[in-house]
Structure 1
């Protein structure tokens, strides 16, 4: 049985908190129907609501993150006043629900490293709405950056052995943690049970993780590869064939429509990068203008400034298209 949650509008939240709970520890992928309007890019698991869960026993915030397919950085941002290492029984935890799709082709895999998030567009099934599946993942550290650009999966390996590059072996030796020339398959293999090679010089991979580094998912922690939860990499490995396109982008600010409402989603800087508030604002204006047909609408500037200040990754509405009846539209056209 999936974890039991209740999804509600903010105005009704307090009245129903006693109903919130989860029942087990199974992780479940975030699967969304793509918007019916192909020009829209805001996806929602549960319409017009946000989601909460109540801890059934003492655990860590990161245990909840894994169960609901969130990374560490994301769930900490959503619960800034919560002790990530100790959640008390019955404590209420905020979860992610709505997202804006990255500005990439809706084909294959997109990795938006700015949000530690993957978007996989499976082939459409006859008679079913097109979907996108989203996974949390880890990315390269400040000194081992994950490269950007379009690539593809060129090889898949189950139960891989790890041959640490000499540069990584030197780093570990300098830290008093020498590595062997080969790490065999098993629970302590940093590649996990599945890996997929990308067509990028230097040996970049999408792979799983060892049992000691589960909590690093959703953080800037790898040597440049993309690291996923064990259950997620297994599902992805079984779903995508060799040759699948992969788009690696860095989009800390995203803008998109849902029906007639324009949303903005903003994420904080990666380690080693600094964007001023003025730079964020200028970047946001450019994206808003692009989303609105190269015209800047009369958007809610206070809502925009709040989103660019919070940087919590939650899409915020900033503009709603006015309703135009046929008479009004014809008057605008004539004038």
Structure 2
């Protein structure tokens, strides 16, 4: 193992107690791929026997996310000193960069804080759980209509019937506390049916980043607390399902591809067709000469790791315009003399 990779392992391991990641905007404001570290730091080394779920919890990642990045690692048994991949780059969803964006295809939320004069632009990213196949999280544009700290949960009759049928009857109300499924904070959305972005109880904390809820969006306790104190009532919320994303960073075009959700089954040909449409959209309607091998692998492995498939030449300066400016400057200097 070379020195750079070893250093990366040590640094990421040290940062393992961090919560949600706040990404700085790319140097080119038109780029839409964000990076956590200046260099690639895509690994951590475990210091004890644990599970991939423990590591996901430590780095505020979802369960599906860390499992798909480590398809050769036993999720239930990660041995001491075993190397585990972590995400570094993310392609931002193809939406307006404002408010909250939930891409349920990747079990991940993006929050764009309002711009502040003199402050660099940023985006925050959080893992979250989404609705099951039979209780799907609705797509579309909505907004935060109410914020509640220490909410009580009043289980809808449909959910009470479901639990009763499984021999797990629910009370008519669950008071605030560690076993409240809403956790300590809830953001109510302007959607018919009591949909919320909320925390979780201690019993379901390892379900973050899975298709497991009754339609609500479930977050880690520290993440929902941070989001709760960051957003205001009226904040727009866009819920999308973008399995394949395309984005630019430093003149390289990246693809990020995720597995199908439960109840959705796409073929390779369908994913390829979607990818080619997104490539053309990102490149002014033109399909460039791509790295086909990398593209095919990304659409087959579906590990959610952004990879570059094309590099364009950087914009060249307009030499005639530059020469004209220099001549004008020389003439101006001559007149001053």
Same-fold call, TM cutoff 0.5 = yes
Matches within 5 A, 1:260-271: 260-271=251-262
User: SS where residue 221 of structure 1 aligns?
Assistant: strand
For the pair shown, the structure with the greater C-alpha radius of gyration is 2
Q: Show CA shifts across 1:86-138 (max 9, x none).
A: 22222211111000000011110000000000000012233221000000000
The 1:328–1:252 alpha-carbon spacing in structure 2 relative to 1, beyond 3 Å, is: farther
Corresponding position of 2:190: 199
Corresponding position of 1:312: 303
Task: Report the count of equivalent residues.
Answer: 321
Of 41-50 and 174-183, deviating more is: 41-50
Corresponding position of 2:63: 72
| Cα distance in 1 for residues equivalent to 2:305 and 2:20 | 18
Corresponding position of 1:145: 136
Tell me the CA shift for residue 302 of structure 1. 1.3
The 1:30–1:324 alpha-carbon spacing in structure 2 relative to 1, beyond 3 Å, is: closer
Contact 2:34 2:91 in 1 (8 A): yes
User: SS where residue 144 of structure 2 aligns?
Assistant: strand
User: SS where residue 268 of structure 1 aligns?
Assistant: coil
Name stretches of at least 5 consecutive residues in structure 1 with no aligned partner: 1-9, 330-335
Corresponding position of 1:164: 155
User: SS where residue 224 of structure 2 aligns?
Assistant: helix
Match for 1:301 among 274, 284, 292? 292
Corresponding position of 1:53: 44
The 1:42–1:11 alpha-carbon spacing in structure 2 relative to 1, beyond 3 Å, is: farther
User: SS where residue 137 of structure 2 aligns?
Assistant: coil
Contact 1:150 1:245 in 2 (8 A): yes
Query: Is 1:239–2:227 an aligned residue pair?
Result: no
Query: Is 1:215–2:206 an aligned residue pair?
Result: yes
Contact 1:20 1:54 in 2 (8 A): no
User: SS where residue 76 of structure 1 aligns?
Assistant: helix
Corresponding position of 1:134: 125
Query: Is 1:30–2:21 an aligned residue pair?
Result: yes
Tell me the CA shift for residue 50 of structure 1. 3.4
Contact 1:173 1:179 in 2 (8 A): yes
Tell me the CA shift for residue 25 of structure 1. 6.8
TM-score, normalised to structure 1, is 0.91
Q: Show CA shifts across 1:276-335 (max 9, x none).
A: 100000000000000001111111111110100110000110000135656999xxxxxx
Contact 1:20 1:52 in 2 (8 A): no
Tell me the CA shift for residue 159 of structure 1. 0.5
The 1:147–1:39 alpha-carbon spacing in structure 2 relative to 1, beyond 3 Å, is: same
Corresponding position of 2:244: 253
Name stretches of at least 5 consecutive residues in structure 2 with no aligned partner: 321-337
Match for 2:79 among 59, 79, 88? 88
Q: Show CA shifts across 1:183-240 (max 9, x none).
A: 1110000000000100000110000000000000000000000000000000000110
Q: Show CA shifts across 1:23-62 (max 9, x none).
A: 5873421110112322211000112413211112222211
User: SS where residue 143 of structure 2 aligns?
Assistant: strand
| Cα distance in 1 for residues equivalent to 2:10 and 2:16 | 18
Tell me the CA shift for residue 22 of structure 1. 3.2
Contact 2:10 2:44 in 1 (8 A): no
